[in-house]
Structure 1
Amino acid sequence: MGMMVTARRVEATAGEVRYEFGLDDKFDRILTIDPSTLDAHVEDGDFDSAAGSITAKIVKTWRSSGEFPTRMLFAS
Protein backbone atom coordinates (compact mmCIF):
# COMPACT_ATOMS: atom_id res chain seq x y z
CA MET A 1 0.00 0.00 0.00
CA GLY A 2 1.36 3.43 -0.96
CA MET A 3 1.57 6.61 1.03
CA MET A 4 1.10 10.21 -0.10
CA VAL A 5 2.19 12.99 2.24
CA THR A 6 1.69 16.65 1.36
CA ALA A 7 3.10 19.72 3.09
CA ARG A 8 2.77 23.47 2.76
CA ARG A 9 5.01 26.04 4.40
CA VAL A 10 3.09 28.30 6.77
CA GLU A 11 5.93 30.23 8.42
CA ALA A 12 9.62 30.80 7.84
CA THR A 13 11.78 32.77 10.26
CA ALA A 14 15.49 32.75 11.03
CA GLY A 15 14.84 30.32 13.89
CA GLU A 16 12.31 27.89 12.42
CA VAL A 17 10.41 26.81 9.35
CA ARG A 18 6.91 25.47 9.96
CA TYR A 19 4.85 23.25 7.67
CA GLU A 20 1.32 21.98 7.85
CA PHE A 21 1.36 18.41 6.56
CA GLY A 22 -0.61 15.22 6.44
CA LEU A 23 -1.71 12.22 4.46
CA ASP A 24 -3.73 12.69 1.28
CA ASP A 25 -4.04 16.51 1.42
CA LYS A 26 -5.17 16.55 5.05
CA PHE A 27 -3.03 19.30 6.56
CA ASP A 28 -3.74 18.23 10.12
CA ARG A 29 -0.22 18.14 11.60
CA ILE A 30 2.59 20.66 12.14
CA LEU A 31 6.26 20.01 11.31
CA THR A 32 8.95 22.40 12.53
CA ILE A 33 12.50 22.43 11.14
CA ASP A 34 15.39 24.39 12.66
CA PRO A 35 17.20 25.89 9.63
CA SER A 36 20.56 26.06 11.39
CA THR A 37 20.67 22.41 12.51
CA LEU A 38 17.97 20.82 10.31
CA ASP A 39 16.54 19.19 13.43
CA ALA A 40 12.85 18.49 12.94
CA HIS A 41 9.97 17.74 15.25
CA VAL A 42 6.22 17.43 14.99
CA GLU A 43 3.79 19.24 17.23
CA ASP A 44 1.95 16.05 18.24
CA GLY A 45 5.23 14.32 19.22
CA ASP A 46 4.70 11.40 16.81
CA PHE A 47 7.62 11.48 14.38
CA ASP A 48 6.30 8.61 12.28
CA SER A 49 7.09 7.49 8.72
CA ALA A 50 4.93 10.25 7.20
CA ALA A 51 6.81 12.92 9.15
CA GLY A 52 10.19 11.38 8.38
CA SER A 53 9.46 11.02 4.67
CA ILE A 54 8.27 14.58 4.12
CA THR A 55 11.09 15.97 6.28
CA ALA A 56 13.70 14.11 4.22
CA LYS A 57 12.23 15.44 0.98
CA ILE A 58 12.06 19.03 2.29
CA VAL A 59 15.66 18.91 3.54
CA LYS A 60 16.88 17.37 0.27
CA THR A 61 15.23 20.21 -1.66
CA TRP A 62 16.74 22.79 0.71
CA ARG A 63 20.20 21.27 0.20
CA SER A 64 19.92 21.45 -3.58
CA SER A 65 18.27 24.88 -3.88
CA GLY A 66 19.26 26.71 -0.68
CA GLU A 67 15.60 27.52 0.05
CA PHE A 68 12.84 25.76 1.93
CA PRO A 69 10.08 24.87 -0.55
CA THR A 70 6.63 26.40 -0.20
CA ARG A 71 4.97 23.06 -0.99
CA MET A 72 6.17 19.48 -1.02
CA LEU A 73 4.77 16.09 -1.97
CA PHE A 74 6.07 12.64 -1.06
CA ALA A 75 4.51 9.58 -2.69
CA SER A 76 5.54 5.97 -2.46
Structure 2
Amino acid sequence: MGMMVAARRIGSAADAVRYEFGFEDRFDRVLSINPTTLEAQVEDGDFNTAASAIAAKIVNAWRSSGGFPMRIVFAS
Protein backbone atom coordinates (compact mmCIF):
# COMPACT_ATOMS: atom_id res chain seq x y z
CA MET A 1 0.00 0.00 0.00
CA GLY A 2 1.32 3.45 -0.97
CA MET A 3 1.57 6.60 1.05
CA MET A 4 1.14 10.25 0.05
CA VAL A 5 2.26 12.95 2.47
CA ALA A 6 1.89 16.63 1.61
CA ALA A 7 3.51 19.59 3.34
CA ARG A 8 3.34 23.37 3.11
CA ARG A 9 5.72 25.85 4.68
CA ILE A 10 4.11 27.97 7.39
CA GLY A 11 7.10 29.80 8.78
CA SER A 12 10.80 30.45 8.50
CA ALA A 13 13.13 31.83 11.14
CA ALA A 14 16.85 31.67 11.84
CA ASP A 15 16.43 28.60 14.05
CA ALA A 16 13.58 26.70 12.33
CA VAL A 17 11.67 26.25 9.10
CA ARG A 18 8.16 25.04 9.93
CA TYR A 19 5.79 22.95 7.82
CA GLU A 20 2.24 21.74 8.30
CA PHE A 21 1.98 18.23 6.89
CA GLY A 22 -0.30 15.24 6.71
CA PHE A 23 -1.78 12.56 4.51
CA GLU A 24 -3.40 13.76 1.28
CA ASP A 25 -3.64 17.48 2.12
CA ARG A 26 -4.88 16.97 5.69
CA PHE A 27 -2.35 19.32 7.28
CA ASP A 28 -2.83 18.17 10.86
CA ARG A 29 0.77 17.97 12.11
CA VAL A 30 3.73 20.38 12.31
CA LEU A 31 7.34 19.61 11.38
CA SER A 32 10.29 21.88 12.22
CA ILE A 33 13.68 21.67 10.52
CA ASN A 34 16.74 23.44 11.88
CA PRO A 35 18.29 25.14 8.80
CA THR A 36 21.80 24.91 10.23
CA THR A 37 21.87 21.27 11.36
CA LEU A 38 18.95 19.97 9.22
CA GLU A 39 17.65 18.18 12.32
CA ALA A 40 13.90 17.59 12.07
CA GLN A 41 11.32 17.21 14.83
CA VAL A 42 7.54 17.14 15.07
CA GLU A 43 5.47 19.07 17.59
CA ASP A 44 3.54 16.00 18.74
CA GLY A 45 6.75 14.03 19.38
CA ASP A 46 5.75 11.13 17.08
CA PHE A 47 8.51 11.06 14.47
CA ASN A 48 6.93 8.25 12.46
CA THR A 49 7.28 7.06 8.86
CA ALA A 50 5.24 9.94 7.43
CA ALA A 51 7.30 12.55 9.29
CA SER A 52 10.55 10.90 8.27
CA ALA A 53 9.53 10.65 4.61
CA ILE A 54 8.44 14.27 4.25
CA ALA A 55 11.44 15.57 6.22
CA ALA A 56 13.81 13.65 3.92
CA LYS A 57 12.01 14.99 0.84
CA ILE A 58 12.25 18.59 2.13
CA VAL A 59 15.96 18.26 2.99
CA ASN A 60 16.70 16.69 -0.43
CA ALA A 61 14.88 19.58 -2.13
CA TRP A 62 16.93 22.05 -0.07
CA ARG A 63 20.14 20.29 -1.09
CA SER A 64 19.14 20.41 -4.76
CA SER A 65 17.92 24.01 -4.92
CA GLY A 66 19.56 25.76 -1.97
CA GLY A 67 16.19 26.80 -0.53
CA PHE A 68 13.39 25.27 1.46
CA PRO A 69 10.33 24.60 -0.75
CA MET A 70 6.98 26.28 -0.14
CA ARG A 71 5.11 23.02 -0.81
CA ILE A 72 6.20 19.44 -1.35
CA VAL A 73 4.68 15.99 -1.72
CA PHE A 74 6.09 12.56 -0.92
CA ALA A 75 4.42 9.64 -2.68
CA SER A 76 5.36 5.99 -2.65
Question: Normalising by structure 1, what TM-score?
Answer: 0.98
Q: Which amino acid aligns with 2:27?
A: F
Q: 1:45 aligns to what?
A: 45
Cα deviation 1:14-73 (Å, max 9, x = unaligned):
111000000111000000000000000000000000000000000000001110000000
Structure 2 stretches of 5 or more lacking a match? none
Paired-residue identity, % = 64
The alignment's C-alpha RMSD in Å is 0.4
Q: Secondary structure at the match of 1:46?
A: coil
Aligned length: 76
Structure 1 stretches of 5 or more lacking a match? none
Q: 1:30 aligns to what?
A: 30
Q: 1:63 aligns to what?
A: 63
Q: Secondary structure at the match of 2:58?
A: helix
Question: Which consecutive aligned stretches of 4+ in structure 1 deviate over 6 angstroms post-superposition?
Answer: none
